[in-house]
Each structure stands twice: as C-alpha cells, then as structure tokens.
Structure 1
C-alpha cells in the first residue's frame, strides 16, 4: 500500500482527484492540502510515497514548491497535475515522476501506480493482516539505482539523520569491501573545514551511519582500519554490488540469460538519482554502460529468437531509464533491420513521449 498526499488550491479539483485516487486499491490518502505552506509544514511528519500536486497555485508555483519538498521529504515521488501541457519539460527538471493533464482519468492514476511499482524494490504488505495470518519476515533492502533507499525487513523507509551521513553511506555503498582513506573522506565531505575538525565530523558521521544500519537490520559492517574505513558487505547483496560483480558475466560469450534479466531488472534509473555528488559522476556512467550492454544482449537475443514483444518491453524499459540517450536509441535501432520492426520501435518511442506529456 502506497501513502498519498494531494495538494491543489482548487477544492473541486482536489475533491475530484481525491475520489479517483481513493478508489485505487494500492493507494491510501493520508492528507490533502489547499495551502502549499501548510503542506510543507506537515510533510516531514507524513513522508508520503507519492504527492499529487497542482502546478499553478497562487501562493507558490508548483515547480518551486517541488524543490522545497525535496528538502523536507526527498524520498517522496511527485506527480504534477495541470491543465497546461507546456509545463511538462520543466516538471522533469525537478525530477517529477509523472505529469498528468486535467481532467485526470482512472487510467492515468493507474499508470502512476504501475510506474511507482516498477521503481520500488519492496513488496506491498497488507495494512491490517488478520490476527491468525502469519506475516512472512522479509529481508532489509538497499537500492542505489534511482533513488537511494534503505528499508527494514518490514519495508519501512529508514531516514538518515543528516545529509553528510547519507552521502558517506552512499560513498561506502559504491566502494564496497575496499578501504576508504579517512583523510580522503574528510576532505570529500567537508572540503571547507580544517583537517582535524573534518576528521572529528567524519567519526560522528560514521557513528550515525552505523546507527542507521542497525535500525534497518542491515547485515553489513563498517570496520575501522589503520588508514580509514571499510564497508564489509558480508553475505548481503544489493543492486550496486551486483553491478560491480557483473564483469565476468558480461565477458562470457554465452551468459545465463536469467542472470542478465535479473540484473536488468535491478536498474531503476541513474545511480543515486537526484543526489549532487560530484564523486558519483564516473560511477554513474560506468553502471549505465553496464545496463546498456545487458539491455542490448537481452534485446538482441529476443529479436534473434523472434520474441519481438519481449524485445519491445525491454527496449521500452531502457528508454524509461534513460529517455534522452540518443546513442542508446541508435544502437537499439540497429538490432531491428527491417522496416516493420523500425515502425514498431517508432510506436514505442511515441508511447514513451505520451507517458512524459
């Protein structure tokens, strides 16, 4: 079940959307607002999975409001609603998940659900299981492709106490089982602070990260070394780690398609999407290229086997993950040599544009 907040200064529009969303079995509305200021004040306590928000409001423009929402509820997905399509491009500048044009239909609401479900790495759990129902205990999860998320065994999102602690954890996730020099980390995270103060700040951040890991039940350890710290992943696996270990699989001439398909499904978007970490740039490109290679292999195999529907769905998933990658699109076109298949690709590309309009 996904929690939802709705914000619209026009009460009839708000009530209409509230009615549509409440009918969907996978959405639970936790609050509605007509005032952007009130919404900003309440969001830190709500932390919804999804926010439906009008673009044009008299008190504050929805695009500006979205940037402020990122500061107080950064893991919430934003869906803009408006009667004007010219806001679409700017909406995606603030990492909106979707853009719905009024009047909104049940089909559009369901599309939002399907997109959200694809991005989430955890399974829904019933709100109130029966007393005699045994609820299976799942494992905690960490995802780094798309939004950085840490969830406990119950699927609850774990928050970091500070941005620096979150960035430190993200860096260690991206460099698993390798020593990270303490002076390098201190300079990376606190470049304007003198050495000893930065080192003390690093020690505090390490403590905070350990507390987050403990609260989530993550079976990983941060070990202090003579020169720094190492994140030992133990037997725990997560998406970034699996991509780090994908090299041998991709080098083989006949890799296991099931393994490739599993890796393909792990990629939910760019590495640590939305995080302004300079150090992640080269890693983001590295993992994107791995995803591209996996996608090309799967699509090529599907085409050669005549499984065109499977090829189309994987192609569409690739475009959703990186819709502006013209080179990727050109390479994928080369896999479909005849005119009929080129027409099918054009139809898919049109579908992509419609989903972002």
Structure 2
C-alpha cells in the first residue's frame, strides 16, 4: 500500500492491481495487459525469481522491478531481465529514479495521453496538467460545475436522477428540474470531450456517474495516504510531506455546497493530524523551527485546537524560548475566552505550568 501511494503521488502511472498472493497476481497478468510489475523477492507461494520466470513466459515485454530487503538476489534478478532492483526501506528519491527508467523503457504509444493530469478539489475545483499549471474550466452555468463536483464527490458510484434533482434543483417542478438536469449533463459532456473518454458521464437505469480513467484525483490520493497512520520515519517523511502539499485549501473551498461539508471536515481533520505527526517527528530530530512553521500554518485552519497548542508549547520549550512560550499561551487563552467563552483544558494548563 505504501508503494502504491508513492506511485500514485508521482502521477505518471496507473496501478492496475495489487496482490499479497503471487498466484493471484499471475492470474491477473494472464488476463490483462500491463507494462510493469513491482515484485517482492520473499513470498509464501514462490520466491520472486520463480514468479519472474512465470511473468516472462506470460509476456516477455513486461518490465519487472524487484522491491526487496535482500540484496544478494540482484545478480539473479537481472539475469531474468529485471529492469531495476530497489532495496527496502523504499526511499522516495530512489523510486523516482526507477520510474524514470520505466518511462524511458515504455514506447510512447503505450502511455496514457492524460496520465499526468490531476483533478483538484482541495481549494477551488480545477485541473492540473501535470506540469504544475492549473486550468479552470469554463463552466456554462454554476449548476454544471456543481453537478460535476457532486458526481466526482461520489467517486464513480451511480446516483439516481431522483437524488440529483432533490440535491441540485429542490425548489423546481419535477419536469423543469429534469430538463435542467439533461441540459447540464450535456454541457458537462461537451466540456470534458477533449479528454477522449478518460473523463465521461455515463447513464444507465435512470442513474448517472462520472468516470475518470487514468487521471489522478487529489482527494482520492490524499485519502489513500492517510487511511493508515504508520510512524513517520526518515524513509517516509518526504512522502508525507508531498501528501500534505496536495492540501492546497479546504475541500471545495469557497463553494456553498451543503453536501460537501461532512467530507470537508473529515479531510481537514486528516490534514491536521498528518501535519502534527510530521511536526512531532521534526521536533524529535532537531528541526524545531520547521515544525513550528508547520504548526502555525495548521493553526490558521484550526485556531482553537488544543492539540496544536500543546505541540507549539512543547516546541518553544525545546528551543528554551520561554518568553515566546508564555506570549503564545496567553494569546491562546485570550482567543478561547473571547471567541468561545471557555478556558483551556486542565491538560493544556498543566502542561503550560510544567514548562514555565
């Protein structure tokens, strides 16, 4: 799962499948065309060299990249035409070199035309062309943008016409709302036509869904990366720093979509949690100033967070900057009192008293 997140974050390739069983992976290869297989060496059913031989028999054009803790198998791996051999723990910079090898080894005709594009919903709804250039689509109406965002929000799940009418046109007679729905779907289809079917609106059984094939979606990338909370280490720190960079603003920030509020809150909580974990790692490894910068930025998103407050206090204490520690705490107490009419928790107060 960690490797998958790194590949998706890089953005050049699409993950077609992942398996903990070598045999299940081989069955996938027997029925589907893929360009590259990332393969472990130590597996329960057969080792990576055996699996590599099977893969070569199935399709000699498949590139194999071994990802393993065992360096002694490197010579044998390259004898069966392995493209690369990456040692665990996986370093993001090292895997980037591997992806460069892969890209150079695959004929251009097999690469997806829009594989580097990304749909962004953190901040304003936009499209990133893979080179860091944001592109705003020229929506014909505000409802066309909202319908696109709503279908995207549901991640390729079928949404019935009834739900769409109730959500987007609740105050209109049904026949008029139905006309607006059909017109709006048509507008979206015309707008995404340039993506040659990689973005499409499908219809079946009185329901619609938005399909994105081979184009990244920042929210899905962020959720996959934050579903689990492994300890921050030197090996994965850069990966998680790249993940929080995806969070360029709150989910669909600036759009008054009531249906987006629950996910918006959930994603903000994940973001703050990840920032605090990275900051805690930085504080434990001599990067107090960098951690403090992260925490002050995060507190702009959650000004009343006592978890962030306690980390900031700990940071000032590590730097032995007790004047700043006291000023920060007094300002936080005043903020809670003025805005919410409450005092800090006993835990926060106790921690402050210990530091001073």
- When normalised by structure 1's length, the TM-score is 0.51
Residue in 2 aligned with 1:233? 212
Residue in 2 aligned with 1:115? none
Decide which moves more: 266-275 or 326-335.
Answer: 326-335
Residues 124-178 of structure 1: CA distance to partner in whole angstroms, max 9, x if unpaired? xxxxxxxxxxxxx994443211222235676543221100011111112222122
Q: Does residue 231 of structure 2 align to residue 259 of structure 1? A: no
Shift of 1:334: 5.8
1:145 and 1:268 in contact (8 A); partners too: yes
Q: Does residue 287 of structure 2 align to residue 307 of structure 1? A: yes
**Counterpart pick for 1:148 among 88, 104, 125:** 125
Q: CA RMSD in A?
A: 3.3
Equivalenced residues, count = 212
Shift of 1:215: 4.5
What secondary structure does 2:122 align onto? Answer: coil
Q: Does residue 276 of structure 2 align to residue 296 of structure 1? A: yes
**Distance in 2 between residues matched to 1:328 and 1:242, nearest whole Å:** 25
2:158 and 2:208 in contact (8 A); partners too: yes
2:201 and 2:211 in contact (8 A); partners too: yes
1:169 and 1:209 in contact (8 A); partners too: yes
Alignment of 1:339-350 (within 5 A): 340=320
**Distance in 1 between residues matched to 2:286 and 2:180, nearest whole Å:** 57
Shift of 1:196: 3.3
Residue in 2 aligned with 1:249? 228
Residue in 2 aligned with 1:93? none
**Counterpart pick for 1:192 among 147, 171, 179:** 171
2:128 and 2:135 in contact (8 A); partners too: yes
Residues 248-275 of structure 1: CA distance to partner in whole angstroms, max 9, x if unpaired? 333x345732322111111122111111
**Distance in 1 between residues matched to 2:162 and 2:329, nearest whole Å:** 47
Q: Are the structure 2 counterparts of residues 178 and 245 from structure 1 closer, same or farther at C-alpha, using a change threshold of 3 Å? A: farther
Shift of 1:318: 1.7
1:316 and 1:348 in contact (8 A); partners too: no
Residues 39-85 of structure 1: CA distance to partner in whole angstroms, max 9, x if unpaired? xxxxxxxxxxxxxxxxxxxxxxxxxxxxxxxxxxxxxxxxxxxxxxx
- When normalised by structure 2's length, the TM-score is 0.52
Larger Rg: 2
Residues 295-314 of structure 1: CA distance to partner in whole angstroms, max 9, x if unpaired? 11111111111211321232
Q: Are the structure 2 counterparts of residues 262 and 204 from structure 1 closer, same or farther at C-alpha, using a change threshold of 3 Å? A: same
Structure 1 unaligned spans of 5+: 1-136, 351-357
Q: Are the structure 2 counterparts of residues 235 and 194 from structure 1 closer, same or farther at C-alpha, using a change threshold of 3 Å? A: same
